[in-house]
Amino acid sequence: MLELEGARKTYPGVRALQGVDLGVERGEVHALLGENGAGKSTLMKVVAGAVTPDAGQMTVGGSPVPLGSLEAARASGVALVYQDLSLVPQLSVGENVLLGRWPTTRWRTVAWEELHAAARRHLGRIGLDVDPRRRVDEHGMAERQLVEIAKALSGDVRVLLLDEPTSALSDPEARRLFGIVRDLTASGVAVVYVSHRLPEVLDIADRISVLRDGQLVGTVRAAEVDEARLAKMMVGRTLGRGAAAPAAPPAGNGAPAALRARGLARPPRLKPVDLELRAGEVVAVFGLVGSGRTRLARTLFGLEPATGGTLEVAGRPVSVRAPADAIALGMGYLGEDRAAGIVPRMTLAENITLASLPRLGRGVLLATGQERQLARRFADELGIRAPLERRAGTLSGGNQQKLVLARWLCSGARVLVLDDPTRGIDVGAKEEVFRLVRRLAGDGAAILYLTSETREARELADRVLVMAGGRIVRSVDPDAPEEELMAAAGGVHG
Amino acid sequence: MAEVTTERRARLLDGIRKGAVRVATAAGGRGGAVAILLLLVVGFFIATPDFLTADNTRNVLRQYSVPAILAVGQTLVIVSAGIDLSVASTAALSGSLMGVAFAHWGWPEPVAVLLGLAAGFAVGAFNGFVITRLKVPDFIATLGPLAAVRGVALLVTDGLPVPDYGRAGEGRRVPESVATLGADSVLGIPLIVAVAAACALFGWFVLSRTKLGRAAYAIGGNREAARVSGIRIERSKFWIYVISGLLAAVAGMMLTGRLASANALMADGMELQSIAAVVIGGTALFGGEGGVGGTMIGILIIGVLANGLSILGVAEFWQRVVNGLIIVAVVALAQWRRRAATRGSGGLKPSPPVDEGQDT
C-alpha cells in the first residue's frame, strides 16, 4: 500500500533520516518504534508531505507520490494525526472535523445542518459521541485526540498515520482507540502507528519497524518478538529492569508531614481532598482522564488556587495563592503538558535557574557567575549532557523533562508534584525518570506522582491513591492487583 | 575628524566592502541588520561626499538620540511580549510639564525635572496597572494613553510652545541642565548622544544583568512556564512599563533641551519609530528574544536612511514611502534568513512553511 525508499533528511547538525525504507501493507498495523530523536516524527512528516526530504521516493497503492507536498499526500489517501494536536480550540468539533472543507449553501455561506450531520457521521464512525456544535476547548485531551482521528478519517483515507495517539489517553480510552484501529484495518486501511509503549505496540501491531539515530534497525513481525528484544533494538543495548521496590516507607516517626491537605477543594472539578505526604515517600495518585488528577496537582501548586480547605507544609499552615508561594515553600511542579514547562528560546542554564531567581544575587541584580555554576551542577546531577548555552527548545522530550526536574533541584524543592512526567517520552527516558524519582525520594524529597498508568503507579509508589470524579476514592497498596486499581478508578468515573 | 579626502574615501570604501561581506555572511538576525546598516552607509558614501562627514554623522546621531531612548524602553516591553504605544505622548507630556513648571510656574530647576520624571513614572504605572490588574491587552491599554496623554500635554501647555518666546520676554527658558545635555557638545560629542548611550547601556544592563530582565525574557518566551517557575508576571510587567515611562520622560526632556523649547505636539509619531527600530533590530514582536544592541542598529538604519535621502534631495513625501517600505523589507529579510538557517544550506529554493521540529 505504502512504499517509501531511501528517505534522507538533514537538519543543521542533525541527520534526522539516513536513507530509511518503509513498506506498509494493506490492512496492517505497522508500528514505528524508536527513542526520542530516532527520527520517527520526521519520517511521519515526510510520508505526510509536511517535511521535504533531501532524497527519497514514495508510492501509495503503486502510484508515485511527489514528496514534500501535503496536498499530494492527502490526495493519495495519506492522513496524519499529529502528536501535538492540530485542532483549532476556539472552533466547534464539527468545524474542526471538516476544517477546510465546510459544505456551503448556494449563497456561499456555511451549510450548518449539513456540516453537523457530516461531522456526526465521521464521529460516529469511530464511536465517538460528542456534540459537533460544542467548542473543542470544552473537551478534554482524550476527546480531542479522538476528534483529531475522526478529522483525519473524514477524507478518503488509505494510509492513516498515528503519532503517539495514546500519550494523552488513559488505559480504557487507549483500548477504545485500539478497537477503532482494528475496525479500520479490517476495512483495508493501512495504519502506521508511532508509540513508545512497548506492550501496546506488541498488542496492536502486525509488524514493527525500529528506528535508531535516523536509520532503520529492522522490521519484525510482532508475533515473533518480545519487549526485551524490541527495547534492545531501540537502544542498542539491554535495558536493566527497573530497580527493585523502593526502600521501606519511612515510619511516621512523629515528624510532621511534608505536605498535608485537609478538605482542599476547587469545585466543581476538585471536591474536598485530604492528603498527607511524608519526606522520602512516593505517593502515586492514579486517575483516568477527567478524574480531577491534574486539577489536584495544579491546585496544590497554586496554579488554580484552592477555594476551600487548608494546606500545611512541614507542619505549618500555609497559604498558596500562586506558584511563587508554592516555590518559596519548597515545592516544585512538573505538568503533563511538556511544552508549558520550558522556555524554548532560553538556554539550558537559564531554564535550570528560572525558579531560583529570588536567591540568585542580591536585590534586583542577577549573579550570572553563580548562575553558571548552579546550572552546571544540576545539569551534571541529572545527566544532562548537552552544552548549557544551547536553547532548551532543541532538546528531546525526555531531556526537557529532566531539565524541568533540574530546575526544581536547583530551587531546593523538597515536595515535588509530578503530573504524568513520562507522557510522550520513550522507554529509555522513562526508566531514567523513574530512577530519578526514586533517587530524589531516597534523598528525602516527598513526591506526589500523578499518573494514568497502572504500571507506573504500582512500580514507583509506596502508596497509591485512586482519584475519580474529583475525589480521592481509595488508598490502595501498590502490590494490589492491577484490576483493583482500575476498578476503583472506574467505579465512580463517568 | 577632518573632511574625508578622495583617496581616503577609496581606501575606506574597500575596507567597508570587505567588512560588509563578512557581516552579511554571518548568521543570525542581528547580522542582517548590521549588514543593512553597512550597506546603507556605503551606498550613501558612494552616492554623495556630503554623507560621511563628521558634521553629518554628528547630526544623525543627535537627531536620532531621542527616538533611540524611546526604543530602549520599547525593547524591554517587546521582549516581554508587550507593546507600549504611549511612549511618544509620554515624552511630550514630560517635556511640556517640566517646561511649564520651570518657565511659567517658576519652580526650581531640579523640582521641574523631577516633575517631568514623575509624569513618565505615572503614565508607565498607569499602563502597568491597566494591563496587569484590569487585564486589558497591552496594545489597547497603551493605545488609550497614546491619545489621552497628549491631550493632557495640550491642556498643560494650552497648546502653545513653552516657553513662549514671543510673550515671555526675558522670562525663564528651559532648565539649564536640560539645555546643556540636550544641545551642547563636549570634545565634539553631543551630550544628547551620550545620554542616549547611557540609556542604552542601562537597558542592556536591565535585560541581561537583573532578575527583571530575565523575567522579561521568560514571560515573552513562554508565559506559562514563567508562571510555573514562580515569576510574578504582573509585578514584572508593571515595572517594565514603569521603566518604559521613565525612559520616555528622559527622552521628552532631552528633546526639550535640544529644541530649547517644549510643546505638546513634539515627538509626534515616534512611538512607531521606536517599535520599528526594535523590530528591525531583530526582536520578535511575540517577545522572548532580542536586545538593546539590535534596537540601536535598528534606530541607526532608520536615521541613516532618512538623512541620506534628504542629502540626496529626495522629497520628504518620498522619504516616508521609502522609510515604511524599508521596515517591511528588513523584517522580511530577517524571516528569510531564519528560514534559510533552519533548512541548512541553499535557502533560496521556494519552500513550504517553516518546519522547526527536528525532534524525534
Residue B74 to residues A1, A132, A355, B299, Cα–Cα distance (Å): 56, 44, 26, 12
As a whole number of angstroms, the distance between CA A65 and CA A52 comes to 12
**Per-residue pLDDT tens over the stretch A298-345:** 999 999 988 988 999 988 999 999 999 999 999 999 987 777 889 999
- Quick one: closest CA in A to B208, which residue? A366
Confidence of residue A180 (pLDDT cuts 50, 70, 90): confident
Q: What is the dihedral of CA A125, A130, A131, A137, to 10 degrees?
A: -120
Contact A214, A15 (CB under 8 A): yes
Chain B residue numbers with beta carbons less than 8 Å from the beta carbon of A395 are 359
- Would the ipTM clear 0.85, i.e. be above it? no
pLDDT at position A350 is: 95
Which grid cell sits at A66? 511527489
Q: Is the pLDDT of residue A371 over 90?
A: yes
* Preceding peptide of A103 cis, ω within 30°: no
Q: Is the pLDDT of residue A437 over 60?
A: yes
Q: Which of B210, B230, B343 lies nearest to residue A324, judging by beta carbons? A: B230
Across chain A, mean pLDDT equals 85
**Given the DSSP bridges, would you call strands A259-266 and A308-313 parallel, antiparallel or unpaired?**
antiparallel
Cβ contact B359–A52 (<8 Å):
no
Cβ contact A365–B209 (<8 Å):
yes
Chain A residue numbers with beta carbons less than 8 Å from the beta carbon of B226 are 343, 354
**A150-164, A308-322, B228-242: least confident range:** A150-164
- DSSP, collapsed to helix, strand or coil, labels residue A217 as strand
Chain B residue numbers with beta carbons less than 8 Å from the beta carbon of A11 are 342-344, 358
**Per-residue pLDDT tens over the stretch A131-154:** 999 998 888 777 888 888 888 888
Q: Residue A116, exposed/middle/buried by CB under 10 A (0-12, 13-18, 19+)?
A: buried
Query: Is pLDDT larger for residue B127 or for residue A399?
Result: B127
Q: Which of A45, A355, A364 lies nearest to residue B229, judging by beta carbons? A: A355
Helix (H) or strand (E) holding B144: helix B138-157
Instruction: Report if pTM > 0.90.
Output: no
Q: Which of A52, A340, A361 lies nearest to residue B225, judging by beta carbons? A: A340
Other CB atoms within a 10 A radius of the CB of residue B324 amount to: 12
- Which candidate, A294, A290, A266, places its Cα nearest to that of A493? A290
Q: Which of B214, B344, B352 lies nearest to residue A357, judging by beta carbons? A: B214
Chain A residue numbers with beta carbons less than 8 Å from the beta carbon of B357 are 41-42, 45
Chain B residues at the A interface, defined by Cβ less than 8 Å, are 209-215, 217-218, 221-222, 224-232, 288-289, 341-344, 351-352, 355-360
Q: Residue A48, exposed/middle/buried by CB under 10 A (0-12, 13-18, 19+)?
A: buried
**A215-219, A252-256, B10-14: least confident range:** A252-256
Per-position DSSP letters for B251-283, written without gaps between them: HHHHHHHHHTSB-TTTTTTHHHHHHHHHHHTT-
Which grid cell sits at A232? 534492545
As a whole number of angstroms, the distance between CA B248 and CA B255 comes to 10
pLDDT at position B30 is: 59
Which grid cell sits at A355? 525558579
Q: Is the pLDDT of residue B228 over 80?
A: yes
* Interface residue of A164, A301, A352, A366 to substitute, partner B, most B CBs within 10 Å: A366
Cβ contact B225–A10 (<8 Å):
no
Chain A residue numbers with beta carbons less than 8 Å from the beta carbon of B230 are 322-324, 326-328, 355, 357-358, 411
Residue A409 to residues A256, A353, A374, A395, Cα–Cα distance (Å): 22, 10, 10, 19
Which grid cell sits at A328? 518559596
Which grid cell sits at B90? 509620554
Across chain B, mean pLDDT equals 86
As a whole number of angstroms, the distance between CA B212 and CA B237 comes to 9
Cβ contact B230–A342 (<8 Å):
no
- B152 phi/psi in degrees, rounded to 5: -60, -40
- Which candidate, B272, B327, B233, B235, places its Cα nearest to that of B83? B272
- The alpha carbon dihedral of A284, A288, A292, A297 has a sign of positive
Within A53-197, residue ranges assigned H as helices are 70-75, 93-97, 112-125, 141-152, 171-186
How near does any CA of chain A get to the CA of B285, in Å? Answer: 14
pLDDT at position B227 is: 93
Chain A residue numbers with beta carbons less than 8 Å from the beta carbon of B287 are none
Chain A residue numbers with beta carbons less than 8 Å from the beta carbon of B211 are 357-358, 360-361, 364-366
